[in-house]
Amino acid sequence: MKQLKAASLITAIKTPYNAIGEVDLNTYDTLVQKQIDAGVDGIVVGGTTGEGHLLSWEEHLILIAHSVHKFGDKLLIIGNTGSNNTSEAIKATKNGFAAGMDATLQINPYYGRTSIAGVIEHLNRTLDIGPAFIYNVPGRTGQDLTPDIIEILAKHKNFIGVKECGGNERIAHYEKQGIACWSGNDDESHDGRHKFGSHGVISVTSNIIPGLMRQLMDNENVELNGRLQGLMQWLFCEPNPIAINTTLMMTGAVAPNFRLPYQALTKEQRQQGFELLAALNDDDRVGETLSLLDDEDFNYCI
């Protein structure tokens, strides 16, 4: 638990695909190694950025097990094994811990929303299984995990803390009570860490600039944070993970293969990102090249 709470930079890692839409483990390993080289503390496997919702449970759990086997001695492996179905969340979480993951990321039931009492019971059932980060992202779930809910869950022995998308004021509120928080908003994460007392960030942006995100978490750097604001905001110009997928394809880090329903950013959007990425040092980006790509370069799979 101490090691988990000490992790200040956790990357919600991208899941790459080959030309027929299968998970590309060789490319995945290269991406994870880039994170290790940059000093990232852990990865979330099969999160929103890793398209866990587009993976079968078999693919999802194989990816967790592969990550543990290949990289478990080098960084923390956090499996996104949450679901809006309590039975599925319990089964997946048990299987994830059996595969050796260090912790789970759990979300409140989305779409088929439940009452506050139901949310608490759902999350407590998964907390009973092992160490868990609770993820509050009302923009996706449609239901805010307010302090009255989190403060109850925080009493559980397996509660690590919260990935919080509700802003830095709420993060400060929790941290003052000893409830560990990680920012879920990359563009707020530097101030969250150095001005509001967060434990760190669970980041999308660190897929492409892990070393710079490491710098932002380690030391207050207003100038660097200011320079990266445009990129961090552009990465959310469409629902995540559309932009980070497109970005890693533009830098050659992954092949330009999407699983539907995701599609590449438009050429105009890519041009905006190209300019932001070109302003960085080549060594700061994951990927060996930088190109705008044409619309026909992208391949769409199911």
Active-site residues, by number, are 135, 163
Structure tokens at 124: 């407590």
Rounded distance between C-alpha atoms, residue 232 and residue 185, angstroms:
9
| Class of residue 156 by CB neighbours under 10 A (exposed 0-12, middle 13-18, buried 19+) | middle
